[in-house]
Amino acid sequence: MTAETLEAVSRTGRTTIAEALPLTGNEAITRGAWEAGVRVAAAYPGTPSTEILESFADYDPAEVTAQWSVNEKVALDTAIGASFAGVRALAAMKHVGLNVASDSLMSMSYIGAHGGLVIVVCDDPGIHSSQNEQDTRLFAKLAGVPILEPADAQEALEYTKVAFALSEEFETPVILRGTTRLSHTRSVVRVGARTVPPSRGFVGDHTRTVTIPANARRLHPKVIAREAALARWFSETPLTLRDDGDGDGSTPEGAAGGRCGIVTTGIGYLYVKEAAPHLPVLKLAGSYPLAAEAIRAFAATVDRLIVVEELEPALEEAIRGLGLPCEGKSLFPRLGELSVELLREGLAKAGLMAPPAPVPPAAIAPMARPPVLCSGCPHTASFLALRSIGAHVAGDIGCYTLAAIDPLRSMDTCVCMGASIGNAIGMAKAGAEKPVVATIGDSTFLHSGIPPLIDAVYNKADITVVILDNHITAMTGGQDHPGTGRTLRGEPAPRVDYAALCRAVGIDWVRVVDPYDVGRLMQTLREATAYRGVSVVIAERPCVLDPVKIKGAPLMVRPEGCIACQACMNLGCPSITWSGELFEGRHKVAIDATTCIGCTLCAQVCTTDCIQPVTA
């Protein structure tokens, strides 16, 4: 799309000549960081934050050093180091990634930023692609660092620039909170030029940057004082917006409550403006520190105060702490994404609008379509083999987590990134009556699987670890990592040798196997689980989609040979379907040649050898 030049006035009041570009929220954050003069950016991929770092690959590497890190803590530590050196730095992660990085965040709250330090954290209300929907705003309060919450892509760009300035003015890390809806919604954004502030030089003050107890005790009161100063800034900044609405804010005739006002942040503002444009709104720049004076002034103009926020009642409880009565989670859900429909239902419950008309049920119920592994996914055979040996399987985070559901159903637990090996140690130490296996992907192994593997060796656990090496971070869209041999920008890099690494930590029994060789895979797993001590099986086969889509000669089913035994159906391959023919009352199978990649897994498990390559 051709960029359109226009004169734009940002919400901070600065007039610029800018282009209008169609950007997602994530792309806008990247653009805002680039315009703010960021010099170093690091992240670990995780939906919905992944595209922030990917977008940096489009910018000149001489301007911004951007890199994938092995996990979120390393990403934040990298950004912290750049801040120590006096330049602006950014770390990006999804909400659960902040759990991994929180140790560094808590100490940096005391130390404070030198060069601007921004931590972009993208929450996932509704759990579209996560193991929970925790609320990062609570982390901001716990750490004592400010959080900014943009509502749309334009604000995402502007708030990112403000975040860097705020970080340096108050010498604090700043969290920029996104959500799935903001991250992936595209809109026209006014963009500007890059301005790079001069480096501040190395911080050079060990009484501040070394958090020994004596220093930390002296620094903590500064955090408290900073919170009060930031609360004043949040009350006075133009980013905290007073919107009087299209009406007078009164409730419908006959309803109690008089004039009503809404307090909200982030994308909640857009929902409110669509659902109830007649109501006055106080849109806060962020939830913490609380803009107490702005809220008190707004509350004095209304009779009822309603808080609209996604997930936890962080604002609602804080406002009540000011001694101001308000309503919030009594009207709106504490879980899942907000929506215009939910806003209308809640406001109707509050007596602020007529109840929405009931939506008639659809005439045709949608067919349930559970997620499945891709056709030819190398993980399929690994979990089919694990099911056949009857092991307790501690799983991990990745595409292969789908092995927990039908038809593979061969994963017993999945807690969080890197937990599988530690969980397996505990199962074995508890005296599990079956073999104990931990399954972990290559990227996840590098993220947080190596320390528990060392622990397993050190504590002599009787477990098998299966490293599912598909040469990519597949679940989040095919990002590179230290095991792929490429950097974020596609440049060659050293590649981790998993077998050598495992032997280096003291593991004697290590085997590498191709999961497409089903017979050898099953035999290797039987030998691994029979071994007493820590054994490692590296199931190595590239992902069928990334970095290129792999497709060989497709297969077909000879219908005269099919006895409807369903052995191939147990793979859960989306290319295998039921045919219209029957055998002894059971449906025979067919293969969709347009989606089959010719992996031959189905042919290897077929009991009648009726699956053959397609012939012209």
Q: Which residues are annotated as a binding site for [4Fe-4S] cluster?
A: 562, 565, 568, 573, 596, 599, 602, 606
Amino acid occupying residue 339: S
Are 396 and 443 a contacting pair, CB within 8 Å?
no
Nearest to 461 by CA among 390, 369, 392: 392
- 386 touches 429 (CB < 8 A): no
Q: 213-236 and 292-299 are packed helices; what angle lies between their axes, rounded to 10 degrees?
A: 30
Question: How far, in Å, CA of 205 to CA of 224, rounded?
Answer: 21
Q: Which residue has the tokens 């077929």?
A: 606
Rounded-to-10 torsion of CA 310, 312, 314, 317: 120
Rounded to whole angstroms, the Cα distance separating 411 from 439 reads 9
- Which letter does DSSP use for residue 141 in this model? H
Give, as one character, the DSSP assignment of residue 359: P
Determine phi and psi for 422, rounding to 5 degrees.
-60, -40
Beta strands in 272-355 (DSSP E): 281-284, 304-308
Give the annotated binding-site residues.
562, 565, 568, 573, 596, 599, 602, 606
CA 66 – CA 488 distance, rounded (Å)? 7
Residues 455 and 450: their CA atoms lie apart, in Å, by: 9
- Provide the H-helix boundaries in 419-556: 419-429, 442-448, 450-458, 498-504, 518-530
R_g over Cα of the chain: 27
On whether the CB atoms of residues 35 and 194 are closer than 8 A, the answer is: yes
Q: Which residues pair with 282 in a beta bridge?
A: 242, 263
- Closest C-alpha among 15, 31, 13, 12 to residue 187: 31
CB half-sphere exposure, 248, CA atoms < 13 A: 5
- CA 354/CA 571 separation, integer angstroms: 51
Coil, strand or helix at 473: strand
Give the Cα separation of 452 and 431 in Å (integer): 19
Q: What is the residue-wise DSSP string for 123-158?
A: E-TT-SSSS----HHHHHHHHT--EE--SSHHHHHH
